[in-house]
Amino acid sequence: MNKSRNFISWFVALSFAALALFIANLWFGSVLINWGKIFQVLFHPEKTQSTAQVIVLSYRLPMAVTALATGIILSLSGLVLQTLFRNPLAGPSVLGISSGASLGVALVVLSSGLFHFELTTFPLLNNLTIIVAAFAGALFVLAIILVVSARVGNVITVLIIGIMLGYAVSALVSVLQFFSRSAELHAYVLWGLGSFSKTTILQSVMLLVTAMAGWGIVLFFAKPLNALLMGESYARSIGIPVQSIQRILILLTGLLVAIGTAFTGPIAFLGLAVPHLARALFKTSQHNILIPGTAILGANLALLCNLIAKMPGYDISLPINAVTSLIGAPVIIWVIIKSRHIKF
Amino acid sequence: MEKTVLHIENLTNGLSLSRGKKLVLQENLHLRLQSGQFVCLLGPNGAGKSTFLRILMGFQPALAGTISYDEQKLKDISLKELSHLAAVVLTDRFSDPYLTAMDVISLGRYPYGSLIAKLNTEDTHVIQQIVNTLNIGDLMEKVFRQLSDGEKQKVLIARALVQDTPFIFLDEPIAFVDSPGRIEIMEMLSDIAHKHHKGILMTTHDIETALEYADILWLMNRGKPIETGIPEDLAMQGKINDYFDKKAIQFDRFSARFRLQDKKTSATLFIKNNSLETFWLWKALSRKGFKLVNVETFPEKGLGFYFENREFILLHDHKPIRRFSNIQSVLAEVEHYLDI
């Protein structure tokens, strides 16, 4: 099997690339910290008491871990949803889950102005409140999707309802925006731009554990996912309980996206673009290869986007969504033109 | 080898529509299919062939009646067990850009594998054997959607075969395939049924091909019971016309082909149809709408053709009046002689 040996060497290479990008994420930033210091901070933290420690441990490290984890979570969700809905343009946003997270955050942030309590006065509470609000909003939409999918049974109907829910929720958010003050509006817009830097080290590690667990669980679905490439009827005919598999996978990806979005805000294009990159790179549609392949590519791309967003050497940084979109959109266009396979 | 039998008893074929409405296509169907038989389910579009197959596969419930594989009722059979009893070739299209023929065929081994999507040595062995039997080794690494329609069907048939089930159901496997491809696929299916001892049921609306290859025909049309029998009996008894009730088009029992009725000429020609050449002449003249009669000796009166010394010879009242070197020239000039 030439293909699988080829894949293993790619996977190893990409793992090293991810490691290199991870280290680069610790190294580069608006301040350059030299190698020795980073090493010291990471492995002998008791010896150092400096700004370097603060920068690396409470800022760059959680950010890099979050980028890594989010890259894995979103790309894998995108892959699963594209196969599940048999639609190359499906991604984490199609189920309306990120819109749900936005609604949760909008309700908390924007209504704080209406009810005259100042979130901004409690920064730590603020962070946690927003995570909880985003998660609750995402779960709310996910619950609706699950109820609907149990009733209608047709996965394309679920897809359309998810997209429509997203629109409805966005409409609600825009009403809230309309009635809110500019300070809250600014805070909300900032959240909407997405960021890997809103997590503590503990939160980022939790996110990484979630990502790894999600990866492990999705791997067990490689076989039914492969079968679904031939459509629901063929999958059924080889003994796969299609409807329950669909529901489990919607729940699983929904939870993953909800958790990811809660910590980072909506991140555009990663989930949509990475599975296409993985297919183009590994030249296969078999999920036993695509699942690890997509995860490792997603990790690489998220770390790379984060590195670019940090604008090493400059005092400013770009919103991560701008970078993922600027990289993701051309990737999609390139994939479409190169293989001309987005067909309906 | 032990026989496995699919029993269909008292079945109502049809669909449940919304608000409790039902579309009943056929009622009280009693049929049986056993391993080693190649059955073609024939019927016009909309007769309910695909619905019937979907019911047999358990994709949708029958409106009434029971289906059982040997002694076991379909509704008591789990999805997993069913995947060891029947494999399918469907009309569903899939166009994943990287899915290879090998990937498609491997899916047939899924009912045998563990949780992990990897083939074991037995799977590889079974696949290799089937691939060799069907002679499709050169297609394996190709992307499925880039194959021709005929090649796609072969790969799908291979997929159904590696599933190693006593029954295979195929929905319109020859619908988009060119004639040589049709012959190849029909030969393949009939071979599989007889040599590998499988019960094969395929739907088609191509009567001429079905007549030639099927062991048994099931004729289906809306609101009629299914008529079963061997192709020759059904054709001879004129049953086929009853199931394709289009007034203008009739099944010609003599040529085993469909043709338009009421062509303009109705002149009778006698042909001594005893060679390949006269066979094709017959086809050409009947296409032009002549009434043809096959004779050993020509009657006293009338026009007739026979073939001798590489020439078609036209007889008028026993006298040769014209020689033709090919069929085109016969067709061009035969009308002039009708008024004699």
Q: What is the pLDDT of residues B182-198, one digit of tens each?
A: 999 999 999 999 998 99
B94 contact residues in A (CB cutoff 8 A):
86, 229-231
Gyration radius (Cα) of chain B, Å: 25
Gyration radius (Cα) of chain A, Å: 20
Question: DSSP secondary structure string, A288-324?
Answer: HHHHHHHHHHHHHHHHHHHHHHT-TTSS----HHHHH
Contact B115 A231 (CB under 8 A): no
d(CA A341, CA B94): 12
According to DSSP, residue B100 is labeled: B
Cα distance between the two ends of chain B: 65
In a mutational test of the B interface, the residue from A85, A223, A230, A236 whose CB has the highest number of chain B CBs within 10 Å is A230
Q: What is the pLDDT of residues B100-118, one digit of tens each?
A: 999 999 999 998 876 665 7
A154 contact residues in B (CB cutoff 8 A):
none
Q: What is the pLDDT of residue B233?
A: 85
Contact A240 B113 (CB under 8 A): no
B107 contact residues in A (CB cutoff 8 A):
226-227, 230, 234, 238
Task: Record the tokens describing residue B13, joined without a space.
Answer: 């074929």
Per-chain mean pLDDT for chain B:
86
Collect the ranges in chain A with pLDDT lower than 70.
Answer: 1-3, 30, 45-49, 113-126, 153, 338-344
Q: What is the pLDDT of residue B333?
A: 81
d(CA A291, CA A285): 10
Asked if the model's pLDDT at residue B149 lies above 50, the reply is: yes
d(CA B321, CA B317): 10
A341 touches chain B (CB under 8 A): yes
Residues 6 or more apart whose CB falls under 8 angstroms from that of B228 comprise: B31, B216, B217, B218, B219
CB-CB neighbours of B193 under 10 Å = 23
- Three-state secondary structure call for residue A50: coil
Nearest to A234 among B90, B95, B113 (CB): B90
Q: In chain A, which among 284-303 make CB contacts under 8 A with chain B?
A: 284-288
Q: What is the pLDDT of residue B259?
A: 63
Under 8 Å between Cβ of A69 and A84: no
Q: What is the pLDDT of residue B312?
A: 92
* CA diameter of chain A: 65
Q: What is the pLDDT of residue A245?
A: 92
Q: What is the pLDDT of residue A208?
A: 96
d(CA B10, CA B65): 5
In a mutational test of the A interface, the residue from B51, B55, B79, B80 whose CB has the highest number of chain A CBs within 10 Å is B79
Burial of A13 (0-12, 13-18, 19+ CB in 10 A): exposed
d(CA A5, CA B153): 30
Smallest Cα distance from B17 to chain A, Å: 15
For residue A9, give the H/E element and its range.
helix A2-27
Q: Determine phi and psi for B257, rounding to 5 degrees.
A: -135, 160
Asked if the model's pLDDT at residue B47 lies above 70, the reply is: yes
Q: What is the pLDDT of residue B288?
A: 78
For residue A160, give the H/E element and its range.
helix A155-178
Q: What is the pLDDT of residues B61-88, one digit of tens each?
A: 889 999 999 888 988 999 999 999 999 9
- Three-state secondary structure call for residue B249: strand
Residues 6 or more apart whose CB falls under 8 angstroms from that of A220 comprise: B115
Q: What is the pLDDT of residues B19-30, one digit of tens each?
A: 778 888 888 899
According to DSSP, residue A338 is labeled: H
At CA A195, angle to CA A190 and CA A198, rounded to 5? Answer: 95
| Percent of residues, chain A, with pLDDT higher than 70 | 90
Under 8 Å between Cβ of A56 and A251: no
Q: What is the pLDDT of residue A342?
A: 47
Closest to A103 in 3D by CA, of A175, A178, A180: A175
In a mutational test of the B interface, the residue from A4, A237, A283 whose CB has the highest number of chain B CBs within 10 Å is A237
pTM: 0.83
Q: What is the pLDDT of residues A13-47, one digit of tens each?
A: 999 999 999 988 888 876 777 777 777 777 776 66
Nearest to B111 among A234, A239, A285 (CB): A239
According to DSSP, residue B48 is labeled: S
Tell the residue number behind the tokens 């056929």, with chain if given: B26
Asked if the model's pLDDT at residue B303 lies above 50, the reply is: yes
Q: What is the pLDDT of residues A113-147, one digit of tens each?
A: 666 555 555 554 567 888 888 888 888 888 888 88
Window from A87-91, A307-311, B169-173, B299-303 with minimum mean pLDDT: A87-91
Q: What is the pLDDT of residue A217?
A: 96
Strands B38-42, B199-204: pairing is: parallel
At CA A56, angle to CA A54 and CA A61, rounded to 5? Answer: 125
Classify A2-341 by CATH class. mainly alpha
Indicate whether this complex's ipTM tops 0.90: no
Asked if the model's pLDDT at residue B277 lies above 80, the reply is: yes
Q: What is the pLDDT of residue B55?
A: 92
Nearest to A237 among B87, B94, B104 (CB): B87
Q: What is the pLDDT of residues B1-40, one digit of tens each?
A: 567 889 999 999 988 887 778 888 888 899 999 889 999 9
Contact B98 A241 (CB under 8 A): no
